[in-house]
Structure 1
Amino acid sequence: MRVVVILKTAEGGRWIVPQVEELRRRGNEVTVVLPAGPGRLREQLYRAGVPMIDSPFRFRFRPTLATAMQLWSLRRLLRRLRPDVVHYHHYHAALAVRLSLLGLDVVRVFMVPGPLFLESAPIRTAERLLTRLDDLVIAGSTHTADLYRSIGRRGKTLAAVPYGVDTRLFRPPDAATRSAARRRLGLPADVFVAVMVAYVYAPKSLVHRGTGIKGHDVLLAAWRSFARDCPRSRLILVGGGWDTSGEEHRRDLLRRFDVTADPTVDWFAGVIDVRQYYAAADVSVSPSRSENHGAALEAGACGVPSVVSDAGGLPETVNRDSGWVVPTGDVEALAAALRGAHAEFRSGRLARRSPAAREHIQRRFDSGDCARVVADLVETIGGRQPAPRRHLTLTTAL
């Protein structure tokens, strides 16, 4: 079976690699279409030997002749590739594929990496109609699947499958690795360490206007309150701006919260391998205003308990034994959760959450298991019968 995978980025979206590798392992011919230019996703696909083609469409929707010509070029490219299935991720890619394939007999599969676009009322209204052009929607979380069900998507044309996390790559550190990680960061053993791993995105115009969606501002405000009571603590923020505007927003946060003058806060940008920070951490924090599963999967796989907001799919990443859920945007509730985690750290009880965090992620979010379910769905909708397996527990038809 010929499968074309389309994304709007060559940098992010590395979570597609297990899916691509699984489809190829089964003998399918997979080509990935990406925007031109370098990026970590392109590098990873290149190392895996996956064929790639630069997209003629730049994934910017403006009412211009150039946009129409780019969409026409994408249509010509897809007709030349003659796919049995086009599998697309991100909303801009979905719009581009839907328009480019109008009138063509090609199976369309939209996998949704996050619910942000559905949190805009105008987009949600439009999506109620546009999603009819998809043969199958695979929501990246149960939360996102529920949003699609609320706009009329039903039955076997909707499934919920996480993108997941590589639980072999992200795993709990041994004692020596943890000690070395803390030593490199100048963290004594008795210092409570919270980590937040996330790119910084500039505020959007259609949703959560004026605030960054990852909630860095919420955490920094909560940390001020928390650190006054618990001074032997350290907050480590990992991640730079996603783009130029994201980096400008990060610098604004640095100024607004006077981060450089706060000895309890460190912010590291440009990090490639985040595992050393999880190895040093006692708790991970994901205070997003909109999210699929985010960094809580990596943290949990590393055995780090999480404090998450109740936004999107984040509550799915923890249970009562592995973490805390707080109301989105609630500074005091987040500070209180940090105090609770700190009290458990001091008493020695926090470490008991580590096996529960790891087990929860392994059972529900292993990327290899998730990729196999996605491959089953793609092959089935494309008309190829997947090999039978005894267990198929990660997917939910709605």
Structure 2
Amino acid sequence: MIVKTNYGGLWTIPQACALRDRGHVVVVICPPGGRLNARLAEAGIRTVASPFSFRFRPTPATLVQLWQLRRLVRRLRVQVLYHHLYAATLAARLATVGLPLARVQFVAGPAFLESRAVRVVERVLWRLDRVIICGTRYTSRRYGELGVPASRRPAVTSGLNLAWATADLPDDTAATRAEARAKARADLGLTPDQFVVIMVAYVYPPRKLAAHRNRAFKGHDVLLAAWQKFRSGHPDAVLMLVGGGSDEAGEEHRQDLVRRFGLADDPSVRWIDTADDVRSYYRAADLSVSPSLSEGHGAPPEAALLDVPSIVSDAGGLPETVDETCGWVVPRDDAVMLARALAHAHTEFRSGGLAERGVRARERSWQHFDNRISAVRMAEIVEYAAGIGGSPQEYAPPATGKVLAR
């Protein structure tokens, strides 16, 4: 495997373990240090420091590093090169042209496919991959538009560790979950009758992608604009934003949002910096919101594991995470429709129906986002790329949720 990060990319761990458990030798090439290397080591997966920095600058050093990566792949005698995240994909393709191996790409998020320039490049370069595993059906469709045959772009969600949601509890019963919810709200100073909305996401800075018009893709600004419309008629509501800046530029953007929307003087909005464990925040919430302009499956399946239904935008794979029984889909970048969906959810909160949506959301997440199953499906695809076994089946959510109409 090649991964460009040493901090994120944790979805690679169950995939690597599934391949190892099927008798294959697995080595992960990634930057040294960081959380990913530590977690892979805990799982017994070997890692090797990447000689390539994953920065594509027009300098001799870039060519030297790509050549060093090629030598490393040859020394490891790689038969299948399984690459994650687009910078790693480009590096894997360029460094191994002409080598007798199969390349398999896993696409965690579709943002790069929403760039016109990247689509022009991918229309040619996808042919270097034997299979492209698409983390969402949306991603698979986008690659289909570039000419990739359906058999070479299976949709398989990376999934979640289902046990994570209750791993810190003595048992997984309705009574225990209710007790944990009450404690979480009390610890945060929230009363039982307050309507609590949560958004869990890092704050990324605006990017120069034409598809997003130089906007930050997580959509914090859309939610904050909708919140101002919604909050004026719902004084019992509280919004928790969990997640700091993704980097220095992201933190600058977060501070700009705080100033622009006057959050320092708005007691209804709480912005919690990055938390290592978000379970207590989800337990305290009644509703999760994912207003992204571009996204894979994002936070909704995670929120659902803790009985929290979601409002999602129609961006990327987000509509695949809910249906009409457990959430709402609204047009992306539409604060008016998002405010209207918040009002619908608030009405159900008062009637008790929102909690029922949370139960159905949990059932859906258990059914469609189990990473134990998806990791095996991906291992089967890697084996298929290597000429072992037949074509595997997809493991992805069924029909997507319908967009809320005006």
What corresponds to 2:14 in structure 1? 18
Q: Assess if the C-alpha contact under 8 Å between 1:159 and 1:395 holds in 2.
A: no
Which of 211-220 and 257-266 deviates more? 257-266
Offset at residue 395 of structure 1 (A): 5.9
Measure, in 2, the Cα distance between the counterparts of 1:130 and 1:213: 25
Tell me which residue corresponds to 1:221: 225
Structure 2: how far apart are the matches of 1:219 and 1:339? 13
- Aligned position for 2:326: 322
Q: Does structure 2 retain, via aligned residues, the 8 Å contact 1:57–1:71? A: yes
Q: Per the alignment, in what secondary structure is the counterpart of residue 394 of structure 1?
A: coil
**Where does residue 179 of structure 2 map in the other structure?**
176
Q: Cα 1:148–1:32, aligned 2, differ >3 Å: closer, same or farther? A: same
Structure 1 residue 209: Cα displacement: 3.0
Whole-Å Cα distance in 1 between the matches of residues 120 and 13 of structure 2?
32
Instruction: Specify the code of the residue in structure 2 equivalent to 1:260.
Output: A
Judged with a 3 Å threshold, the aligned counterparts in structure 2 of structure 1 residues 244 and 129 are, in CA distance, closer, same or farther, namely same
CA distance in 2, matches of 1:110, 1:290: 20
8 Å Cα contact 1:8-1:90 kept in structure 2:
yes
Whole-Å separation in 2 of the counterparts to 1:279 and 1:176? 10
Specify the alignment match of 1:341 in structure 2: 345
Name the CA distance, whole Å, in 1 between partners of 2:350 and 2:64. Answer: 62
Once residues 7 and 234 of structure 2 are traced to their aligned partners in structure 1, the CA distance between those partners, rounded to angstroms, is: 38
Equivalent in 222, 237, 241 of residue 241 of structure 2: 237
Q: 1-side partners of 2:198 and 2:37: how far apart?
A: 28
Q: Show the 5 A alignment for 1:356-395.
A: 356-385=360-389, 392=393, 394=395
Deviation at residue 351 of structure 1 after TM alignment: 0.8
**Retained in 1: the 8 A contact 2:155–2:394?**
no
- Distance in 2 (alpha carbons) for counterparts of 1:393 and 1:209: 34
Matches within 5 A, 1:16-55: 16-38=12-34, 40-55=35-50
Deviates more, 1:182-191 or 1:200-209: 200-209
The Cα shift of 1:392 comes to: 4.6
Contact 1:373 1:395 in 2 (8 A): no
What residue identity is the alignment partner of 2:378? V
In 1: Cα distance, 2:150 partner to 2:393 partner? 17
1:270 corresponding residue in structure 2: 274
TM-score (norm 1): 0.94
Secondary structure of 1:324's counterpart equals strand
Deviations 1:252-289 (A, max 9, x none): 11121122221011111121111111111100000000
Structure 2: gaps spanning 5 or more residues: 167-173, 398-406
Q: Secondary structure at the match of 1:160?
A: coil
Normalized against structure 2, the TM-score is what? 0.93
Structure 2 counterpart of 1:203: 206
Residues paired across the two proteins, number: 388
The 1-side partners of 2:95 and 2:127 are apart by: 15
Give the RMSD, CA atoms, in angstroms.
1.6
- Tell which deviates more after alignment, 88-97 or 376-385: 376-385
The answer as to 2:72 corresponding to 1:77 is: yes
Distance 1:268 1:156 in 2: 43
Aligned to 2:137: 142
Structure 1 residue matching 2:232: 3-state secondary structure: helix
Partner of 2:403: none
What amino acid does structure 2 have at the position aligned with 1:177? A
Alignment correspondent of 1:290: 294
Residue by residue over 1:78-116, the C-alpha shift from the partner in whole angstroms, topping out at 9 and shown as x without a partner, is 111111111011111110000000110111000101111
For the Cα contact (< 8 Å) 1:111–1:139, is it kept in 2? yes
Q: CA deviation at 1:241?
A: 1.3
Is residue 304–residue 354 contact of structure 1 (8 Å, CA) maintained in 2? yes
Correspondences of 1:120-131 after superposition (within 5 Å): 120-131=115-126
Cα contact 1:283–1:304 (8 A) shared by 2: yes
User: In the alignment, residue 197 of structure 2 is paired with which amino acid?
Assistant: A
Amino acid aligned to 1:47:
E
Q: Residue in 2 aligned with 1:156?
A: 151
Measured after TM superposition, the shift of residue 155 of structure 1 is 3.4
Residue 52 of structure 2 is aligned to residue 57 of structure 1: yes
Within 2, Cα distance between the matches of 1:270 and 1:224?
A: 23
CA distance, structure 2, for counterparts of residue 213 and residue 186 of structure 1:
31
Contact 2:136 2:396 in 1 (8 A): no
Structure 1 equivalent of residue 193 of structure 2: 190
Distance in 1, matches of 2:244 and 2:100, equals 42
- Pairwise mapping of residues 91-130 of structure 1 onto structure 2 (< 5 A)? 91-130=86-125
